[in-house]
Structure formats: structure tokens, C-alpha cells
Amino acid sequence: MKTDIQTSPLRTILVTGGCGFIGSNFIRYLLTESGFSGCVVNVDKLTYAGNPESLADIQERFQDRYRFIRADICDRDAVRDVFRRHGISAVCHFAAESHVDRSIVAPDAFIKTNVEGTFTLLEVAREHAQSFELFHHVSTDEVYGSLGPDGYFTEETAYRPNSPYSASKAASDHLVRAYGETYGLPVTISNCSNNYGPYQFPEKLIPLMILHAVEGKPLPVYGRGLNVRDWLYVTDHCRAVWEVMRRGRRGRVYNVGGRCEMANIDTVNRICDLVDEILPDSPLRPRRQLITFVKDRPGHDLRYAIDCSRIEKELDWRPQESFESGIRKTIRWYLDHREWIDRVRSGEYQAWVQQHYGQV
């Protein structure tokens, strides 16, 4: 049997969705910062959100330790082939449809990839039970639903997903848990709050606002901008995922958050002020004047807030980046990577923006 990457099977991690925002940051972190010395196989279907160019330098630099394979996680034969050829012993599962607004307009792909795709991966992992070490599932705090002004999501909070996206992620979490309980598959799950940082597709709040602020376009804030999100810089999330994979208790769930709650309007105001500061000569100042309140998202969750004391206590994990330092880095990154941005804003992206923000 041909093995493409020469290494011990136990050291080879299959990362799904590694061409997306968090997956690409995770692979970069794993190979350059974490101390991990094994191999990474990245399986990604390359939907509109996946861009292999995000890892072009990694591909070049780690030719013997990194492999990219374009495949759909719903394709069981393709996943089986990856496991066989590369001696996969662990999975870190990021691949998903991830945008709430898209899930409201067209939920099918969310059920397919997030539920059926996760099921397919679990089934193939189960076929390799003898040698399989860990299935880590990357999930979201959105499975817990919406909070009022007080309280936090703990790992014991009941699931109450409100969007097709969060419902599909909740279903996938349940499947992962069930495979741990029923088949004894070694599993871990992390539920994280909103991420931001380099390589995020500019349909999500922070990159969309940065780019529109730079370009002088309207900044579409849903409702009155009072919904609250907890923000975490992406590398802090990647470190949390890796700590859970390395040292987390098997069968356990870990909540991950930034202890950084902000109302959307405050987040957007901060971005406007920082872009003004970084581009002081622009006639677009003050960019707060670009803020446009638009129709609210249906079923819009009011507030997310994470109690992350379990991962803090058990794995000694803490965010290293404050919102202030992280958002500055992120704005800089978007200013310095025009080519990446132009590339991902392809025809389909334009059509989506047109359809969704036509009212602005």
C-alpha cells in the first residue's frame, strides 16, 4: 500500500477544512509554532470559503510534512482512501458551512456537510478503531442558543440552537458524543466563541467591516447593533484546540472564549476609529459616518458569553491576545493582503453581497 507521507501513522493528523479561516490558521500554528513534529493531511472541498493559497508558503516550506487533498468529507470512499494512504490516526475536524446568514437563505449545504460529513468521518474513523487515537470536533458556542443580559454558557448548558447553522453544528456535536459513548471512539469537542484574525472570509462581521471601512462603503449593522458577541483572536483558538488534542480528557467538552464581550456597534465603532488612525490622510474620516443600520437577521441571537474556566483550570489555557492588540494586527493584515482579498472576492462572493446587502 502506498503511503504518501513518510512517518509513523500515529503522528499523522487529518485536518478537515484546512483551507478555511480557522483551519488554515490551525495548520500554520501546528507546523510553525506548536512543537508538533508529525505530519498534516488537509482535506478540503474548496467551497467559496476555502482557499489553498492561504497555505501556499506552508505547502512550499513543509513539503515532507504537509499534504493537501481536495475532497468532500461526505464522500466516504474518498475519506477512506485518505485514511488508508496516509495512515491517519487522529482527526481535527473544522470542515463546515459556517455562515449563519447563508444558512438562513440556503440550509441544505449545512445539513449535508455539517451533519452528514461529520457522520461520514466518524464512520471511517470507527473502521480504524484499532489504531485510532483521537477525533477532535471543532464546534461553536452558538449550539447553546441565546443568553439574556446575564449568565454564561458552561459545558453543561442545554443545547438550544436557533439557526440552521447552529442546529447543524449541534447535531454534529451529538453524533461525536454518541460515537464516544457507544463505540468507545476517543473523542473531544471544543465549543468556541466568535473568532477574528487573518484569512477570514469577508462575509463575517469583522473582515467585512474592515474592508468596507477602508473602501468607504456602507457598514451594515443589523438591527440596532446591540447584539453581543465574545471575540477571540484566531491563534488563541488554535492553541486551545491543540491543548485539548494533546492533553484534554477523552470524551470531554471544553468551552473556549475570549472573555471579551462587545456589542456589535462598539466593535464596528472601534474598527472605524482604528482605520481612521491607521489611514490618517484619508478623506473618508470619520468612518463612523459609514455605519448604516439595516434589517435585523431573523432569529438573531442576542448574546453569547462563554464560561471557559474548565479549559483554564485543566489545561492552563488563556487568551494571549487582547481585543485591542488582535484587532490592530487583523486590520494591518487586511491592509497588507490586497491580492488575497481580491482573489476571494470572486464572482460568487459578489453575487452574495449583492443579494444580501442590496438593501444598503
Q: Annotated active-site positions, please? A: 141-142, 165
Site for ligand NAD, rule CB under 6 A: 16-17, 19-23, 44-47, 49-50, 72-74, 94-98, 113, 117, 138-140, 169, 192, 194-195, 201
Whether residue 45 contacts residue 85, with contact meaning beta carbons closer than 8 Å, is answered with no
Whether residue 305 contacts residue 245, with contact meaning beta carbons closer than 8 Å, is answered with no
Query: Which among 12-20, 204-212, 281-289, 313-321 is the span making contact with ligand TYD, rule CB under 6 A?
Result: 204-212
Is residue 194 close enough to count as binding ligand TYD by CB under 6 A? yes
Shortest-Cβ-distance residue relative to ligand NAD:
20
Return the residues of window 229-248 that contact ligand TYD according to CB under 6 A. 229
303 binds, among ligand NAD, ligand TYD, none (CB under 5 to 8 A by kind): none
Gap between the Cα atoms of 217 and 293, Å rounded: 13
Phi, psi of 209 (to 5 degrees): -70, -40
**Residue of 31, 208, 291, 331 that binds ligand TYD (CB under 6 A):** 208
205 binds, among ligand TYD, ligand NAD, none (CB under 5 to 8 A by kind): ligand TYD
- Parallel/antiparallel/unpaired status of strands 261-263 and 228-233: antiparallel
Gap between the Cα atoms of 34 and 309, Å rounded: 22
- The single-letter DSSP state of residue 154 is -
Query: Which among 38-46, 75-83, 202-210, 280-288 is the span making contact with ligand TYD, rule CB under 6 A?
Result: 202-210
Q: How far is the CB of 6 from ligand NAD (least distance, A)?
A: 25
**Residue of 220, 257, 319, 326 that binds ligand TYD (CB under 6 A):** 220
Q: How close are the terminal C-alpha atoms of the chain, in Å?
A: 57
CA 281 distance to own-chain centroid: 35
Q: C-alpha dihedral over 21, 135, 123, 109, to 10 degrees?
A: -20
**Residue of 49, 205, 244, 262 that binds ligand TYD (CB under 6 A):** 205
Whether residue 274 contacts residue 221, with contact meaning beta carbons closer than 8 Å, is answered with no
Q: For binding to ligand TYD (CB under 6 A), which residues are involved?
A: 100, 194, 204-205, 208, 220-222, 227, 229, 264, 297
